[in-house]
Amino acid sequence: MTFKEFSDLISDATNPVILIEGRRTISPEIAESARKVAAFLAGRFPDLKFRSGNANGADEAFTAGVLEVSPERLQVVTPYASHRKKQRHSLALYDSPESLSPAELADIKAQSIAATPGNKGLVNCYQRGGKLGSQAACLIRDTMKVAGISGRLAPPTAALFCINPANPEAGGTGHTIRACRNAGVPVVFQDGWGSWL
């Protein structure tokens, strides 16, 4: 996606929101590019909101750029309410799957399984505690970022990712990319958004 195409997409949206996220392990150069592009977009589009997942690496790098310009436009969906509380910004909006109603949770679980059918058993471990419960919470969180929640989180207009070019759909990042594709949310990797500056 070119910057012109992205700009048109954001300008045409009523309540534009973009996902900004990706791998936990990224190079310092990619981290700096992510920070710069997020700050650039926050300055260029004053109505644009940014949604991330509160993880180390790409999430942290992108959100640093938003926090420099407009922290009140940052939305963070965490796997559980107390996740990384020390890294929180007072002006950002925080939410987690714990706030979902039973019907909303059932819908998010179904969308999670549709995005990554092989994780059906893991998704069903949500709220059971332990390592599997924690991993399930991360998948539910990732799908929630994409699906949005009526009245609270609008579905995203587009998604910017830092990926491993050799295996772009690996792990939680891959799950989120597939959830985006299922929901019709355009995705842009660093080989695209990296040229916008």
Residue 33 has pLDDT above 80, yes or no: yes
Length of the chain: 197
The predicted pLDDT at position 184 comes to 97
When the pLDDT of each residue in the chain is averaged and rounded to a whole number, the result is: 93
Q: Which domain holds residue 150?
A: 3-193
pLDDT in tens, 175-195: 999 999 999 999 999 999 999
∠ at Cα 54 (53, 60), nearest 5°? 110
The predicted pLDDT at position 85 comes to 72
CATH number at 135 reads: 3.40.50
The predicted pLDDT at position 13 comes to 95
Split into its structural domains, the chain has a count of 1
**Side-chain half-sphere exposure of 88, counting CA atoms within 13 A:** 16
Residue 3 has pLDDT above 90, yes or no: yes
pTM of the model: 0.93
The predicted pLDDT at position 91 comes to 83
Mean pLDDT along residues 105-128: 94
Mean pLDDT along residues 117-137: 92
Mean pLDDT along residues 22-37: 95
The predicted pLDDT at position 171 comes to 86
Rounded-to-integer distance, Cα 93 and Cα 76, Å? 6
pLDDT in tens, 136-164: 999 999 999 999 998 889 999 999 999 99
The predicted pLDDT at position 104 comes to 95
pLDDT in tens, 68-116: 999 999 999 999 887 767 777 788 899 999 999 999 999 999 999 999 9
The predicted pLDDT at position 103 comes to 96
The predicted pLDDT at position 55 comes to 83
Mean pLDDT along residues 1-17: 96
